[in-house]
Amino acid sequence: MRLLIVAVGRLKAGPERELCARYLDRAGKGGRSLGLSGPDVIEIHESAARRPEDRMADEGAGLIAALPEAGAVLALDPRGAEMTSEQIAADLAALRDYGARQLTFVIGGADGLSEAVRGRADRLIAFGRATFPHQLVRVMMAEQIYRATTILAGHPYHKA
């Protein structure tokens, strides 16, 4: 199953980009033996619209256009369900075992996700109720994908 992150904004050079790349590399290496490929990243341009509603609509259109036609979509949204790392790993494994060819993680911009993106998602999840910069959310998502591969592999990295 191919893993994909579709995110608004570009990670600029710096510690967030380096950390994200490190986790994605580790997830890619660990995922191969688990039947996972990627994770790959598609970056969507941030909207320059003045109103938050217009920015969310513009970015939402870009996110939806980047989504593969088939496969599951998990979108990060503060109103989504809070999931443990074990639950994320179990969902990933269940989709893989069910025969899903793709799992896409969607990360919106600073204003959040449009209703169109929320409606396209199979599940909305949150990393708690606190507000985080979307650049950090991308690092957190990359780490959770890596953590899921370690959980599924039975690696001692994860200390439950």
Rounded-to-integer distance, Cα 57 and Cα 91, Å = 29
Tokens standing for residue 92: 């990933």
Strand partners, 2: 37, 102
Distance of CA 1 to the CA centre of its chain: 15
Tell me: is residue 71 an annotated ligand-binding position: no
Tell me: is residue 108 an annotated ligand-binding position: yes
Distance of CA 45 to the CA centre of its chain: 16
Sign of CA dihedral 107, 132, 26, 155: negative
Binding residues: 76, 108
Binding residues for S-adenosyl-L-methionine: 76, 108
